[in-house]
Structure 1
Amino acid sequence: MAAGISSLTGAAASSGKTSTSASGDASTLASNFTQFLTLLTTQLKNQNPLDPMDTNQFTQQLVQFAQVEQQLKGNDRLDSILASSKAASAASATSYIGKTVTTDGTTADLKDGSATWNLTPARAAAKAVVTISDAKGNVVGTQTTSLAAGSQTFAWNGKNASGLAAAEGTYSIKVSATDATGTSVAVATATSGAVDEVDLSGTSPVLIIGTARVPLSSVTSIGLSTTSG
């Protein structure tokens, strides 16, 4: 009988770890606990009065059931907290629709013959070589300019190295800058655009800006709505 009780407790603990349904875990635990009590009652009824069973084992079994039950309840509370947090995050993300946001990153959409990036050098750069690549990583153009200290806009007119208009789509830039002494200067890149929609299918919201997908965590600033009343 004792072995039967141990196997029931083991099944209950295992179900708490492997089942994907909290309600299913609770149901299994309740069923196993009922069987445990039935076995316990039967053993107590049939024990030898002159040689009673050691109650320590029963106490341990009860403690194990209680621990599994507490774990299941804790999991239910965590699931509830996560659901509430996701709902709040989704509600916050949808408020971005129609607004212009600035995000960390190197990619921007070429649309109507223009693509822009925000560049912020660590200090003034006498020479900055900006390399523009398409979505496949092919270099379509290179421009050399100078950068003042502080944030500034770099605009590309969509013309490739041959002077022809590049196709609309997503492009990325890489900036290699040096100061007047030839020392390398780090340049932070960011892009701006109006949020068209929000993808809530994943674990965290993703903003859709043109064809670009931007994690909500990458947003560094928010502007006014692009629509007017």
Structure 2
Amino acid sequence: MTIISSAAAGGTSSVTAAASDTLFADYNMFLELLTTQMTNQDPLDPMDTSEYTQQLVQYSQVEQSIQQTGALQDILSQLASQDLASASNFIGRTARFDSAVAGLGDAPAQWSYYANGTPASLTATISDSSGNVVQTLTLEPGQQGTYAWDGTMANGATAPSGAYSFAVSAVDASGEALDVTINSMAKVTDVVSTGSDIMLGVNGIRMSVSGLVAVSDGTDQGS
């Protein structure tokens, strides 16, 4: 089981601390100048207090804003940790994503497909991350099904590990094209937080948990 958290929260806290340090340094400098000015002012013509009172109010408002930002960041960090802990329950289970992209790694790349209608023919293409078609194949006609690709390309060579896309062209008996929904499937091996998103490690690639549409017990690779 692998769970990785991002250092983004710590980095953001450092930025907040730096902002506070800068503010307090400026504030202390302002007080020193104000004290010097008040000490050396003409008793018969004292300085106008409205200006420095306004500046004190502005410093106070900025300080409150920094404190509120820090509190909000703490809350977001806690929520991210909770999301990460919750997502760790997916490890070892088979996840299905609303995506045509699947990983080819220790296991075959796997997809499920569903045609909106009754197809008379189904043709599938598999493309690499650069969009190059590496395999074209004919699927058994049917409204839905699954396909597992072991990496064998059209030229007989074995494709390297990585991300591959699956596309299906479906035509009914009258020659009309049908819409096809494609999902990728793989077993979850680790969970990673990027600071803004939770990513699931699946067969050598990472997929956002926001694209998750189904989870099974890890033994069912079907649709």
What is the TM-score when the length of structure 1 is the normalising length?
Answer: 0.74
Counterpart-to-counterpart distance in 2, 1:39 and 1:166: 74
| Letter paired with 2:177 | S
Question: Per-residue deviation at 1:144?
Answer: 4.7
Counterpart-to-counterpart distance in 1, 2:119 and 2:201: 33
Question: Per-residue deviation at 1:167?
Answer: 5.0
Given candidates 34, 38, 55, the residue that maps to 2:32 is 38
* Cα offsets for 1:177-207 (capped at 9, x unmatched): 2233322211110022211222335642221
Alignment correspondent of 1:138: 133
Counterpart-to-counterpart distance in 2, 1:21 and 1:115: 42
Q: 1:37 to 1:159 in 2, by over 3 A?
A: closer
* Pair 1:92-2:86 in alignment: yes
Question: Which segment drifts farther, 174-183 or 96-105?
Answer: 174-183
Q: How do 1:209-228 and structure 2 match up within 5 A?
A: 209-226=202-219
Counterpart-to-counterpart distance in 1, 2:34 and 2:148: 79
Counterpart-to-counterpart distance in 2, 1:175 and 1:30: 62
Counterpart-to-counterpart distance in 2, 1:201 and 1:113: 25
How many matched pairs? Answer: 205
8 A contact 1:140–1:161 mirrored in 2: yes
Q: How do 1:2-151 and structure 2 match up within 5 A?
A: 21-109=15-103, 115-134=109-128, 137-148=132-143, 151=144
Alignment correspondent of 2:168: 175
8 A contact 2:123–2:136 mirrored in 1: no
* Pair 1:192-2:185 in alignment: yes
State the Cα RMSD in Å.
3.0
| Gap runs ≥5 in structure 2 | 1-12
Counterpart-to-counterpart distance in 2, 1:146 and 1:158: 22
Counterpart-to-counterpart distance in 2, 1:219 and 1:48: 73
Question: Per-residue deviation at 1:50?
Answer: 3.1
Q: 1:131 to 1:28 in 2, by over 3 A?
A: closer
Question: Per-residue deviation at 1:139?
Answer: 2.6
8 A contact 1:113–1:158 mirrored in 2: no
8 A contact 2:97–2:183 mirrored in 1: yes
| Letter paired with 1:142 | L
SS at match of 2:206: strand
SS at match of 1:125: coil
| Letter paired with 1:186 | D
Counterpart-to-counterpart distance in 1, 2:90 and 2:107: 25
Counterpart-to-counterpart distance in 1, 2:54 and 2:134: 69
8 A contact 2:96–2:185 mirrored in 1: yes
Q: 1:139 to 1:37 in 2, by over 3 A?
A: closer
% identity of equivalent residues: 36
Computing the radius of gyration from Cα coordinates, the structure with the larger value is: 1
8 A contact 1:133–1:141 mirrored in 2: no
* Cα offsets for 1:137-159 (capped at 9, x unmatched): 233232154232xx532455766
| Letter paired with 2:62 | V
What is the TM-score when the length of structure 2 is the normalising length?
Answer: 0.75
Counterpart-to-counterpart distance in 2, 1:45 and 1:160: 85
Question: Per-residue deviation at 1:166?
Answer: 4.3
Alignment correspondent of 1:204: 197
